[in-house]
Amino acid sequence: MTNTNYLIIGSGVAGLTLALRLAEQFPNKNITIVTKANPDESNTKYAQGGIAIVIDKNEDSYQKHITDTLICGDGLCDEAVVKMVITEGPKRLKELIEWGAKFDKNPDGNLNLGKEGGHSENRVVHHKDQTGYEIERAILRQVYQKDNIIVLDHHFAVDLITKKNYCIGITALDEKTKKLQTYTSEITILATGGIGHLYGHTTNPVIATGDGIAMAYRAGASIKEMEFIQFHPTAFYDTSTDSKFLISEAVRGFGAYLRTKEGHRFMMDYDSRQELASRDIVSQSIDLELKKSGDNYVFLDCTHLDLVAFKKHFPMIYKHCLTSGIDIAKDWIPVVPAQHYLCGGIVVDTNGKTSVTNLFACGECSRTGLHGANRLASNSLLEALVYSGRIYEHLANPDLKISTTDYKISEIKNTNKPEIDSDYLTELKTKLQHLMRQNAGIVRYHTDLQNAKEQLLEWKKEIKMIKKTHQVSVSYYELSNMITIGSLIVSQSLEREENRGGFLKLKMTSFV
């Protein structure tokens, strides 16, 4: 059993920046970061676009950004939260820069601000098309310089330890020794990212299996608005892999056109903003075009753009396309919507507190009220930074008294049982991913959701029985968590009666 003062699950921008702030404020306290892969593997790392922050007060304003966010959220945003996050953004950006993160600048030395779908002004701070990677690099460098931060990589958080609605730590599986261990803490923070691998076709890395949300749900935390799944309109179409390479929203902001194979610019038929409509509208429009044509993908046309400027702004995208046989100077890029972001999750207040005492959450696993029914492009890194700061300020308050409960934790007894057949887990995961894509995708049908609910319940019973007789692994825990997350998405989709933002449910049976 290991004791620590602050236990952070996850190593994306939310978890790492919180760890840094706590380490600087409390040099005599220990901060432990638990991450199931390498420390730099997170959804943050793959964020291309940037951070939406009001910088140029002459052309932009907080109110414009607030209005854009509210419009995109389709009436379900918490307006007070939206105002708080947007107005605190510049302060958090300043911290990132002080920690060594570098962002693109204009020849005059000012930040080069990009424009993305749903934004009325240029306000996206970026580092070429690798903003998340740059932020992760800078923060990790700072983290490793702190003597009171311990990073436990390749440790899988299995479950929260709770008693009478108090969180007092976690059980975790050391992936190297394959032994379960107990970690107790005064405060536990979930910063575990998204759920993308549940759908298989996703822009998220394979580690995004909804573990934090599933753990919080089992611990009795409030989980809300799981039905609001954001599908990124333009993921590179590639049949050789599940994880899809993202063609950033900023490429359309740069002037790229969406076309059918016949060359028709179909977004002109759906929205006056055309290619710069919000992600829900663009994704649904592509989905409808594909259903009409029977094609597997549409195209993103960049052939009319300045090639030199494109390569400067999007070097990683240009290289990926070229490696895949697409010369953007003369070829159209095949694209398809892919799962990208979860707008709901663990319900938190403005200080990141969940409904479980001493348990906090921030980043994509949390539901703050910022995104509503659909996230505005590049508001995700902004939210993670602001809520990381809010949790820190709450915990750094000298008048804060941390509630405790007396609870003796028994040592975990690791038993020797036969291992679960890995082929069985792989096959069931593939079935689960197909079910979610078909029955809980961009457009959902009431009958499909009902069928999915019944199937998920059967799978949940099935894997629960297996746990009694077999040695469990990370693959097992991830699959179990994904089934839990799938059940939450499906049940909350069935409960929602009105279509909003990224959620579109029809009562008829699907055509599939």
- The residues assigned a catalytic role are 279
**Strands 51-52 and 366-367: what pairing?**
unpaired
How many angstroms separate the CA atoms of 124 and 121, rounded?
A: 9
Using an 8 Å Cβ cutoff, are 493 and 440 in contact? Answer: yes
Cβ burial of 464 (10 Å; 0-12, 13-18, 19+) is exposed
Only one residue has tokens 């549940």, namely 198
Using an 8 Å Cβ cutoff, are 83 and 145 in contact? Answer: no
How many angstroms separate the CA atoms of 340 and 204, rounded?
A: 6
How many angstroms separate the CA atoms of 251 and 257, rounded?
A: 9
Cβ burial of 38 (10 Å; 0-12, 13-18, 19+) is middle
Find the largest Cα–Cα distance for the chain.
68
| Edge-to-edge strand list for the sheet holding 257-259 | 229-236, 333-342, 298-301, 257-259
Sign of CA dihedral 24, 27, 33, 38: positive
Question: Which residues sit opposite 111 in a β-bridge?
Answer: 105
How many angstroms separate the CA atoms of 66 and 81, rounded?
A: 10
Query: Residue 83 is which amino acid?
Result: K
How many angstroms separate the CA atoms of 459 and 440, rounded?
A: 17
How many angstroms separate the CA atoms of 475 and 138, rounded?
A: 31
Cβ burial of 379 (10 Å; 0-12, 13-18, 19+) is buried
DSSP type of residue 179: E
Only one residue has tokens 């107005």, namely 87
Using an 8 Å Cβ cutoff, are 86 and 65 in contact? Answer: yes
* Torsions phi, psi for 174 (to 5 deg): -75, 110
Using an 8 Å Cβ cutoff, are 491 and 430 in contact? Answer: no
Six-digit token string for 343:
């707008």
